[in-house]
Structure 1
Amino acid sequence: MNADAPRKHDLVIVGGGLVGASLALALEPLGLDVALVDATPAGEMPPVFDERSLSFSEATVNALTALGVIPMLRAAGGPIRRIVVSREGDFGQARLDATRYGRTEFGQVVVARDFGHALEARLETMRGLTRYRPTRFVGSSIDGDVRRVTLQGTDGTVELAAPLVVGADGTASGMRAALGIGAETLDYGHALLVARLRTERAPDGTGYERLTDAGPTALLPRADRHYGLVHGVASAEVDTVEALDEAAFLARLQSRLGWRHGRLLACGPRSRYPARRVVANATTAPRAVLVGNAAQTIHPLGAQGFNLGLRDALTLAEEIAAALPQGRDALGADALLQRYAARRVDDRRRTLAFSDRLLRVGMARGALMRPLRSLALLSLDHPSWLQAWLVGGAMGYRGDVPALCRGDDARRRA
């Protein structure tokens, strides 16, 4: 293709995963010509849509319902009605109950694979969307009042141009690297084994976070009578633990979790993920913005990663809607990027701090930490301003909350 004649769009999204696809859907009412770049061939699911259990906050459920994704789920999400947090070897636990806050649930647990199918079904109905797949991002550059994106496809090189390009291509973001934006990386010293777990007592809507020296173990209540398991294992042990047969792995979990769920009966295939924090030094560049894991990848403790990334996408959609009356060129103008970045500061900072501090305190060793943690758990076990603050953040209501997360649709009024 002639490099001097790129294919023009109003906006290009690099990355067709959870956040990138959700952003495309959020832009649909604006009538824009949107390009979605995806490395996965048509008819296949990106690797992120696996057997992992995703915990959607109430704000996320609100938004995905408004975007038409939740109604397309093949299976209903599992409601999270209660959350129990405890620490191995410490006294006390924190129990959070949605009914204390006038809710029936804090959010829902959805299998990533099911979510991927629902997103794909919804994207198939979207107007104004051009999908480039399978294509691999190669590079990006500024060309006057547009940004160019170079892709490598099965038929050769393709070049796109748009007033705004969005990097939603994950933790190892090629877009972030092409923009020259660095990132701070922190390895937490453990890995996460993720699987589907069947127990003698079926889930009753309670999610569990069990903190240990080696990392957290979480049980998320799915709707199929299974739990979604996230098991933290110290880096030095993870190869050995991953190689355990099912019986030995269940015995390990039983010793960690105890018998409140009855006997642990079966465990599906295990997937392994690194436990690390990767935070971009900036989220914007000329005619470009980073969202989701490309902007910040956080530990799944507290289940805030996708929820935070979705709020990135929805905030950007609102700013695009506000700028659109000024013309298509305004979509990537400095003023829009500055407003977007300013709106995301508080939510991003507070969510990153919450995830990191909870993990560090939970893993901290030492005789002094145990009574302090026990006191903290006991204080959180009763309704208070501190518990209310924690619950509000867990449900996705931190900082400047996008309208769709509140159950309102400001895009159609812009």
Structure 2
Amino acid sequence: MNADVPQPAAVHASHDVLIVGGGLVGASLAIALDRLGLDVGLIEAAPPGALPAVFDERNLSFAEATLNALGALGVLAKLRAPTGAIRRIHISRKGDFGRAVLEASRYGREEFGRIVVARDFGEALEARLAELPRLHRYRPVRFTGLAEAGDGWRGVRVADGAGERVLRARLLVAADGTRSAVRAALNIGAEEHDYGQTLFVTRLRGERGPDGTAYERLTDDGPTALLPRGDRHYGLIHSVASARAEAVAALDEAGFLAHAQQVFGWRCGRFLNCGARNLYPAIRVLAARIAAPRALLVGNAAQTIHPIGAQGFNLGLRDAMTLAELIETELAAHGSVDCGAPGLLDRYVARRLPDRERTVAFSDGLARISANDSGLLRPLRSLGLFAVDRVASAQSFLVGGAMGYRGEVPALCRGDAVDPPRPAGGRA
């Protein structure tokens, strides 16, 4: 052997699918793939006993399609804290005439979805992951780069306290968030847009408790949402122009409540108290492509969008469930599956692009037009709210998106759960 020729690093382990990122989408994907009997590896930065930072006090709006999938995966049953039903959606804009109210009962539903606190969801995911004896969890472990593999494999370098090692997988999935290290290592660029808004997220109590109404109040600084949590509090997501964010952050509790009251109004009575406030920048990040040889981007690694309309996690979960469904279909047809085969990845991209493009366009367009203070737009916005409130076709478009039924919806999201096929011999 020629010592001057670099040799491939020794491979520590091989997997059908290796997921980098144990957050909302990555963990959900691991559960969905495990039910197919695949050999799945999950790279997690958080050590055992600790939740990733993404599982904080932010309020997640789960569409009906998302609830269907998480129910089929056994995650919803692990939720210990109460969730809040969204029975109606109330949309208005400060300074404009009109408002729109969407009622779930008009569509034969008890609710459009539910509000879940991210921390509670993280604990439910962890409880479900702990029940999967086949799943290989690498934690705390960092992704450090790509490695040579070839012959139908993707090599991945990871590191922990003991040093660096190499894993390989038929398919590498980047679920490591907006600033995805995997996306960068794959040389996939990303388009970024800063909306100039900072989001304040907290729990808030009002004189009148939640009644199932999710409020979306649009302003020149961006949207303010008041969401019906299951603990008799509201989840507040409040946009502030970034130039004023520092001043708002410096307000004491009484000052912040007065500020939020002035923006939102009195529909829920006086705001009485709030919890700790977390701040996040409103930035859209879109990957130039969502696939590379034997690699895919899902969730925020593929697209991070404005939270208006609560589409982000629901879109990311449809990424994960679509991938799981395509692998399941291949497995059912052939009894085995190469999870990173070019044809399978091509089908994934074709399935996801329409949903991705429409959801991103909806979120971005709503964020831009609602925050534009041009007087010329005010009558048009008021007319739009009137149309949504009165025109059935306009309502149906919004309701379908709010419930997660956009694009070619995966069977698990439709509530069509069946027992999945298993690989011949127990491995793909």
- The yes-or-no answer on 1:137 pairing with 2:143 is yes
Out of 106, 110, 114, the position equivalent to 1:108 is: 114
TM-score of the superposition, structure 1-length normalised?
A: 0.97
Moved more, 383-392 or 175-184: 383-392
Corresponding residue for 1:10?
16
Contact 1:10–1:328 (8 Å) recurs in 2 = no
Out of 375, 386, 405, the position equivalent to 1:367 is: 375
Contact 1:80–1:105 (8 Å) recurs in 2 = yes
| Cα distance in 2 for residues equivalent to 1:260 and 1:210 | 11
- How far is the alpha carbon of 1:136 from its aligned partner? 0.9
Contact 1:28–1:128 (8 Å) recurs in 2 = yes
| Cα distance in 2 for residues equivalent to 1:320 and 1:405 | 16
- Secondary structure of residue in 1 paired with 2:338: helix
Corresponding residue for 2:242?
235
Out of 161, 173, 176, the position equivalent to 1:169 is: 176
Q: Percentage identity across aligned positions?
A: 62
| Cα distance in 1 for residues equivalent to 2:325 and 2:147 | 25
Out of 293, 303, 314, the position equivalent to 2:300 is: 293
Corresponding residue for 2:399?
391
Contact 1:55–1:108 (8 Å) recurs in 2 = yes
- How far is the alpha carbon of 1:105 from its aligned partner? 0.2
Contact 1:321–1:411 (8 Å) recurs in 2 = no
- Secondary structure of residue in 1 paired with 2:142: strand
Q: Write the letter of the residue equivalent to 1:166.
A: V
Out of 335, 338, 356, the position equivalent to 1:330 is: 338
| Cα distance in 1 for residues equivalent to 2:147 and 2:291 | 14
- The yes-or-no answer on 1:318 pairing with 2:329 is no
- How far is the alpha carbon of 1:33 from its aligned partner? 1.0
What are the residue-to-residue correspondences of 1:2-401 with 2, within 5 Å?
3-144=9-150, 145-324=152-331, 326=334, 330-401=338-409
| Cα distance in 1 for residues equivalent to 2:406 and 2:250 | 40
- Secondary structure of residue in 2 paired with 1:31: coil
Contact 1:347–1:400 (8 Å) recurs in 2 = yes
> Unaligned regions of 5+ residues in structure 1, if any?
none
Q: Write the letter of the residue equivalent to 2:345.
A: L
| Cα distance in 2 for residues equivalent to 1:315 and 1:410 | 15
> Unaligned regions of 5+ residues in structure 2, if any?
1-7, 423-428
| Cα distance in 1 for residues equivalent to 2:377 and 2:38 | 54
| Cα distance in 1 for residues equivalent to 2:17 and 2:421 | 21
- How far is the alpha carbon of 1:413 from its aligned partner? 5.3
Distance of aligned partners of 1:388 and 1:44 in 2 relative to their CA distance in 1, 3 Å threshold: same
- Secondary structure of residue in 1 paired with 2:96: coil
| Cα distance in 1 for residues equivalent to 2:29 and 2:274 | 34
- How far is the alpha carbon of 1:411 from its aligned partner? 6.4
Moved more, 5-14 or 48-57: 5-14
| Cα distance in 2 for residues equivalent to 1:273 and 1:379 | 32
Q: Write the letter of the residue equivalent to 2:409.
A: V
- How far is the alpha carbon of 1:315 from its aligned partner? 0.3
How many residues end up aligned between the 2 structures? 413
Task: Output one character per residue of 1:13-65: Cα deviation in whole Å (capped at 9) or x when no partner.
Answer: 00000000000111122111110000001000110000111000000011101
Task: Output one character per residue of 1:299-332: Cα deviation in whole Å (capped at 9) or x when no partner.
Answer: 1100000000000000000111223365766210
| Cα distance in 2 for residues equivalent to 1:338 and 1:410 | 25
Contact 1:15–1:170 (8 Å) recurs in 2 = yes
| Cα distance in 2 for residues equivalent to 1:87 and 1:117 | 36
Task: Output one character per residue of 1:86-113: Cα deviation in whole Å (capped at 9) or x when no partner.
Answer: 1110000010000010000000000000
Contact 2:200–2:280 (8 Å) recurs in 1 = yes
What are the residue-to-residue correspondences of 1:393-412 with 2, within 5 Å?
393-409=401-417, 412=420
Contact 1:163–1:329 (8 Å) recurs in 2 = no
| Cα distance in 2 for residues equivalent to 1:72 and 1:260 | 33
RMSD: 1.3
Contact 1:163–1:328 (8 Å) recurs in 2 = no
Task: Output one character per residue of 1:346-399: Cα deviation in whole Å (capped at 9) or x when no partner.
Answer: 111110011011111101121111111001101111251111111001100011
- How far is the alpha carbon of 1:3 from its aligned partner? 2.7
Contact 2:101–2:389 (8 Å) recurs in 1 = yes
| Cα distance in 2 for residues equivalent to 1:9 and 1:143 | 13
